[in-house]
Amino acid sequence: MKLSSGIAVIGIFVAFISANCGRPANVVNPELDAEMPRKILWAWERAEDLSFIDPNEYGAAFLAQTIFLENDRVIPKPRRQPFSAPDGTYLIAVTRVETNKEQPKRPTFDDEMLSRLAGLIAKTAEMPNIRGVQVDFDATVSERDFYRKLINAVRERTPEGVALSITALASWCAGDSWFNDFPIDEAVPMVFVMGRDQESILSFLRRGDDWREPLCRGSYGISVDEPAVEGLQPNRRIYYFKNSAWAAADLK
């Protein structure tokens, strides 16, 4: 079973009529349920040995690189810490994108920057045994148009059979669906470190409400360092984050 590889085959996304705006909406790629484990461990920039996980139960989304955008520069920082997982583990290569917020150093967001950044992200799909590519970019409102162009460019460069996802602020998923036209397989709502939105989002979930953005309705991202989140919808993938290296005892 193969996942989508480009805008031309975006038909794998189930279409339905949005109650809010009367137009077809992209939803989570239903093929992910057959392809991906239900539990995914995020492995960030630290030494991580996941040899203790069962690949039939757990996948791993590891930080492959961090890319900084400043003026007209694209500054990649490849992962420097070792990472290992058992053979057969569903692996997702994550790229963290950060932008300089100081006005004299704001990125140009021009076509050259777009092309280079998209190429660096798509190249992570060439790493050994990669099944998915994920973009982690907390884009501000002024950066959204650039992010849209970026995701389209990454999708065009991503090989057939490799899933494409993004992380999403919980407020995005509960809000205006500004990224519903992204050609992605899913958006992972991050229900942790939510800042000023935390109490409103937690109340939203405790009431049993579901995300307004359909692309967010396949998974949750939670932190094991924070209290359990109440009101999560059942039978969705869970991406687990931890501020220190994973150990076998964490899985219990």
Instruction: Give the total number of structural domains in the chain.
Output: 1
| Helix H or strand E encompassing 146 | helix 144-157
pLDDT band for position 23 (cuts 50, 70, 90):
very low
Does the residue 2 lie in any domain? no
Helix and strand numbers (H, E) in the chain are 5, 13
Tokens encoding 133: 């590519």
Lookup: tokens for 22? 């009367």
Q: What is the pLDDT of residues 88-116, one digit of tens each?
A: 999 999 999 999 999 999 999 999 999 99
- Tens of pLDDT, residue by residue over 116-149, are 999 999 999 999 999 999 999 999 999 999 999 9
Mean pLDDT of 148-172: 97
The confidence band for 175, taking pLDDT boundaries of 50, 70 and 90, is confident
- What is the average pLDDT across 3-11? 36
As a three-state string, the secondary structure of 213-225 is CHHHCCEEEEECC
- The answer to whether residue 218 is domain-embedded is yes
pTM across the whole model = 0.90
> Per residue in 67-86, pLDDT tens?
999 999 999 999 999 999 99
pLDDT band at 11 (very low <50, low <70, confident <90, very high): very low
Whether 156 is covered by a domain: the verdict is: yes
Coil, strand or helix: which one is 125? Answer: helix
Label residue 25 by pLDDT band (50, 70, 90).
Answer: confident
Q: What's the rounded Cα separation, in Å, for the pair 152 and 181?
A: 10
Please indicate, yes or no, if residue 251 is contained in any of the structural domains: no
What's the CATH code of the domain at 222?
3.20.20
Range of the domain at 121: 7-246
Q: Looking at 1-15, 137-151, 225-239, which range is the least confident one? A: 1-15
Q: Is residue 220 part of a domain?
A: yes
pLDDT over threshold 60, residue 4: no
**How many residues in total does the chain contain?**
252
Considering only CA atoms, give the Rg of the chain. Answer: 18
Q: CA angle, 119 as apex, 113 and 122 as ends, to 5°?
A: 135
Instruction: Answer yes or no: are the C-beta atoms of 116 and 154 closer than 8 Å.
Output: no
Whether residue 27 has pLDDT greater than 60 = yes
216: left (phi over 0), alpha (psi -120 to 50) or beta: alpha
**C-alpha dihedral sign at 203, 209, 213, 218:** positive
Report if residue 120 sits inside a domain: yes
* Assigned domain for 252 exists: no
74 assigned to some structural domain: yes
Mean pLDDT for the stretch of residues 4-13: 35
What's residue 24's pLDDT?
55
* Mean pLDDT computed over every residue of the chain: 91
Helical (H) or strand (E) element with 64: strand 58-70
**DSSP letters spanning 93-122:** EEEEEEE--SGGG-----HHHHHHHHHHHH
Contact at 8 Å (CB) between 190 and 229? no
Confidence of residue 21 (pLDDT cuts 50, 70, 90): very low
